Structure 1
Amino acid sequence: MTATALALAAVPLQSGGGFLWYAVVFLVLAILAGVAGFRGIAGVSMGIARILVIIFLVLFVVSLLL
């Protein structure tokens, strides 16, 4: 292997930490909206948070396998 290939092989894959951060933000938004009585916004925020957590978990598992 060349030095460039070895350098690229040493870079770890990112597991999508941004997805987890946004999932936590939407979860907090859902909790605050639920406490304030905005059930529609709370439901949508919770749905988005759930999707982002699933995407994060899929990317995490893929990065572990590669």
Structure 2
Amino acid sequence: MLQGRTAGLQSRDTSSIYRTKRGLEKTLHQATIVLAVVFLLLALISSLPIFGTPAAGLLFWAGVL
């Protein structure tokens, strides 16, 4: 019986379901994307060799150096 129920659930077509993010869910989704982009940019900038060491690049952009 479990096999029959599982097979039935896997055969459902969910491609026709459209869902809109609203409220807090939309804000968290957008914030996650922005933070991911900021993290990647900081990682790339801090690894540039013009600052000597990767850590020095990050400290420069943080305003420490």
TM-score (norm 2): 0.39
Structure having the larger proportion of residues in helix: 1
TM-score (norm 1): 0.39
Of the two, which has the highest radius of gyration?
Answer: 2
Q: Which has the higher contact order (CA 8 A, sep 6+)?
A: 1
